[in-house]
Amino acid sequence: RQVRQLAIQSLENDPLKARSMTTVTMCIDPEKMEEAKKRIDKFNKSMCEFLTDGKREQVYIMEVSLFPVQKRDER
């Protein structure tokens, strides 16, 4: 929740050139979630390595979320 609140503050206060916020809504096969989590982890590690190599002057938070919008009936 704290990270989401910080994202909202950034959205309201930081210039576009200082941030990147994207969203994609899609209909997926839930059976692919395990692989999706692995790919997200790989992406996170790769992006961290890229961004922390070299001159480091500012602290950033990168958040990637993948969650269901619809809730399944638990019958």
Q: What is the pLDDT of residues 2-40, one digit of tens each?
A: 999 999 999 999 999 999 999 999 999 999 999 999 999
What is the pTM assigned to this prediction?
0.82
Q: Answer whether 73's CB lies under 8 Å from 17's CB.
A: no
What whole-number distance in Å separates Cα of residue 40 and Cα of residue 64? 8
Q: What is the DSSP letter of 2?
A: H
Tokens at 34, concatenated:
């395990």
Label residue 25 left, alpha or beta by phi (over 0 means left) and psi (-120 to 50 means alpha).
beta
Evaluate whether 61 touches 6 at the Cβ level (below 8 Å).
Answer: yes
CA distance 34 to 71: 18
